[in-house]
Amino acid sequence: MTEKETLGIFVTTNKYLDHLIGIVKAAKKAGKETAIFFSHNGALMTQDPKYKELADLAPEEMAVCNVRWEELGLKGQPIPAGMGEKGLATQSRHVSLIGKCDRYLVL
């Protein structure tokens, strides 16, 4: 059995949530898996009410940089939807995610 191709997306800005949702929808429609890592101001995207739409698309893996999460004053907030218990992650997890992806997009 052939593994599905995976599109990795590194989110560094909180400006393009609609674009990110569209990219994930297109990838899913094309039969690709998606993995998303939020860092820098991208961590703020998880606080947007529309973020739930992204989480509902069920990317195979999503995580947010725990250092940036704390720097933004979000420590103690619930882990964003769709991320599970290990949603707050280190850049080491980001590197691991990159290794699993056939393609990688920076937003």
First to last CA, the chain: 31
pLDDT reading at 23 higher than 60 = yes
How far CA 32 is from CA of 14, 40, 74, 106, in Å, comes to 24, 26, 31, 17
Q: Is the pTM of this model over 0.85?
A: yes
Cβ partners under 8 Å of residue 88, min gap 6:
63, 64, 66, 69, 79
Domains of the chain: 6-106 (3.40.1260.10)
pLDDT reading at 1 higher than 50 = no
pLDDT at residue 15 in the model: 96
Please give the average per-residue pLDDT across 4-27, as a whole number.
96
pLDDT single digits (tens) 32-85 = 999 999 999 999 999 999 999 999 999 999 999 999 999 999 999 999 999 988
Query: Phi/psi at 102 (nearest 5 deg)?
Result: -80, -35
Burial class (CB in 10 A: 0-12, 13-18, 19+), 105: middle
Confidence of residue 107 (pLDDT cuts 50, 70, 90): very high
pLDDT single digits (tens) 5-14 = 999 999 999 9
Query: Phi/psi at 89 (nearest 5 deg)?
Result: -135, 165
Burial class (CB in 10 A: 0-12, 13-18, 19+), 75: exposed
